[in-house]
Amino acid sequence: MSSTNADPKSQDPGNNGPLPPHLDPATYPRTVTTTHSGAPIHLSLTYDHLDPTTALSIISSASSGANILFLGTTRDTFEDRPVAQLSYTTYPQLALKSLDKIAKDAVDKHGLNGVYIAHRLGVVPVKEASIIVAVGAGHRGEAWRGAEEILEIVKERLEVWKREEFVDGGKEWRENRERDSSGNLISKSGED
């Protein structure tokens, strides 16, 4: 098949050539499903809508008295500036390796019975989910702590980059690690 007949989503808008595989939506979802210490772990990077029902079905078990689900969604403003949408990109081999370590560490530390982490790529409009973190555990304490820790480490370390696209046409790349869990700017050491 010639590149002129290729899926238009798989074309680089800058030169009309094929996109590199890690940027080509046709090469997704990229998924890893495994177990660690008997706990199912499902990790996904996808351009598709995220499904909370699927996440809960994977982490739910007879031994889990607590199932926690977190959806991170696109807000309509950032610092009083109207947001049109977010756009995410990644280097999937590195991101999936990081997600695997984050999930396994959480299973070990919090005794989780299941972990599901999915991150959306590409354009994510306002009100749509860009990330799902779901965990199952015997009790709510370890489930809450495990889910929150997974989310915070993902925000701090995961090789996924976010571009905020504003209603006025402006665009700004952001690092998730720039802000804490309440959205407050984290000052970097050595800076005023």
Residue numbers in the known binding site for substrate are: 139-140, 155, 162-164
Q: Pairing mode, if any, of strands 81-90 and 160-166?
A: antiparallel
d(CA 56, CA 135): 8
**Six-digit token string for 118:** 């999915």
Number of helical (H) and strand (E) elements in the chain, helices listed first: 3, 10
Nearest to 107 by CA among 77, 64, 75: 64
d(CA 28, CA 25): 5
Residues 78, 149 contacting (CB under 8 angstroms): no
Please report, in range form, the residues annotated as the binding site. Answer: 139-140, 155, 162-164
Q: Pairing mode, if any, of strands 39-46 and 114-120?
A: parallel
